[in-house]
Amino acid sequence: MIKRFIRRVLGLQAEGALRLGRDKHGLSRDALHPSAAKVCAVLRDGGFAAYVVGGAVRDLLLGIEPKDFDIATDARPEQIKPLFRRAIIIGRRFRLVHVMMGGETVEVSTFRGADPHAAEKDEHGRVLHDNVFGTQEQDARRRDFTINALYFDPATEEVVDFHGGLADLKKRRLSMIGDPDTRYREDPVRMLRAVRLAGKLALTIEPATRGPIRSLAPLIERVPPARLFDEMLKLLLSGHASACLRQLRDVGLHQGLLPLLDVILEQPLGERFVTLALAQTDERVLAERPVSPAFLFAALLWHEVLAAWKARQKRGERPIPALETAMDEVLDTQCAKLAITRKLTATMREVWSMQPRFEMRSGQRAYRLLEAPRFRMAYDFLALRAASGEVPAEFEAWWRAFQSADAEARQAMLLPETAPRKRRRRRRKKLPAAASQAA
């Protein structure tokens, strides 16, 4: 006790861990998912230590339902696998085990002991390889934040705390383990994780942890685009995207992420649009309704597309080809840093390129648009544009009414045909049966 006190006063790393009983933290083994509890029990019966660790412990202590349960153990992958009927070893650099149990996949990792001094790094301090097994204490030290380094032992209902995570959790404080500057350099994604966790869990980023982010922000550019995309998606779909983006701005991390987010947020019209899109997304996530990442990314980048589109039209390009090239331009810039998947960009393009078609509210064009496979998403997008004041509200109202109207009412709503005859004739052939009947 005295020794620990002296070490703390001297600012030294805690020696060993605090093992805190249930009376100190209130977490019961009953709160675990049965599969996670079972995996721990099996490992323990096999003679190994087994803890629930990371996000799950943190979330449970905060009274939030965890997304998944990670288990940490002193057993090696080849010792873990035979204990379970359905288990596979995955990962090449650092091997871990996926145990399939009761429809769930539980991830079981052996304690990791990367020595950050010995690890191979790039010239900015980013760790390139760390793949050695280690002790529980080492495993705790290589985790990012104190609140993410809590181990819950279902057998004893004790929480093992090496870095004061429990105290930080009680104060709703996010603190980096070790020297924040070094830890961000090792893995710049930790900056994004700090923002996401703070936004999602309403935590304050402790000053020393927050301090270096602004100046280290450019290191984000060195993170592989696919990983950046994954992290950004997690952030946007956290149910607290608005709060997270506010945090991103506050800590000075928004530049270079969605490279153009900065610009977007500075345009008054764009800001309103993005804010609305994020609020809508958060609402859906919290209500456990499905959210389309394509819709969200399309929204985040729309005002960039608009700006590029307008610039091209000003230079004399025709509207539709100009929109096509504007979309290419924006997506190329984005994907260089943030690898938005192809499936997503295809949908984003569809939604964007349908927007000008909403302006044509005459006969066959209106029916054709209504039949388009992405109509619903494109219409929701139009509604967002109207709500942000970008297009007249009357547009959206017309399309809303048109969708739900019967054939006769639809017919009466149509505006007179204004397009040149030639194109009208060419497209008439493709008219869907229902539409030609109504026409």
Q: In this complex, which beta carbon is closest to Mg ion, that of residue 56 or of residue 369? A: 56
Q: How far apart are CA 297 and CA 268, in angstroms?
A: 19
* Binding status of residue 190 toward ligand ATP by CB under 6 A: yes
Question: Taking CB under 5 A as the criterion, which residues in 55-114 touch Mg ion?
Answer: 55
168 interacts with, out of Mg ion, ligand ATP, none, CB within 5 to 8 A per kind: none
Pattern 90-129, ligand ATP, x by CB under 6 A: ----------------------------------------
Residue selected from 187, 231, 390, 396 as contacting ligand ATP according to rule CB under 6 A: 187
CB 39 within 8 A of CB 49: no
Residue selected from 17, 48, 55, 341 as contacting ligand ATP according to rule CB under 6 A: 55
Q: In this complex, which beta carbon is closest to ligand ATP, that of residue 99 or of residue 384? A: 99
Q: How far apart are CA 256 and CA 218, in angstroms?
A: 7
Could you tell me the CA-to-CA distances from 49 to 40, 265, 359, 363 in Å, in that order?
A: 8, 49, 65, 70
Shortest separation between residue 119's beta carbon and Mg ion, angstroms:
23
The residue behind tokens 């078609």 is 357
| HEC string for 123-148 | CCCCEEECCCECCHHHHHHCCCEHHH
The Cα diameter of the chain in Å comes to 91
* Binding status of residue 148 toward ligand ATP by CB under 6 A: yes
Shortest separation between residue 145's beta carbon and ligand ATP, angstroms:
7
* Binding status of residue 189 toward ligand ATP by CB under 6 A: yes
68 classed as catalytic: yes
Residue selected from 70, 282, 304, 390 as contacting ligand ATP according to rule CB under 6 A: 70
Q: 114: helix, coil or strand?
A: coil
Q: DSSP per residue over 220-266, as a string?
A: GGGS-HHHHHHHHHHHHTSS-HHHHHHHHHHHT--TTTSTTHHHHHH
Per CB under 5 A, residues contacting Mg ion are 55
Per CB under 6 A, residues contacting ligand ATP are 54-55, 67, 70, 143-144, 148-149, 187, 189-190, 193, 234
Active site residues: 68, 70, 144
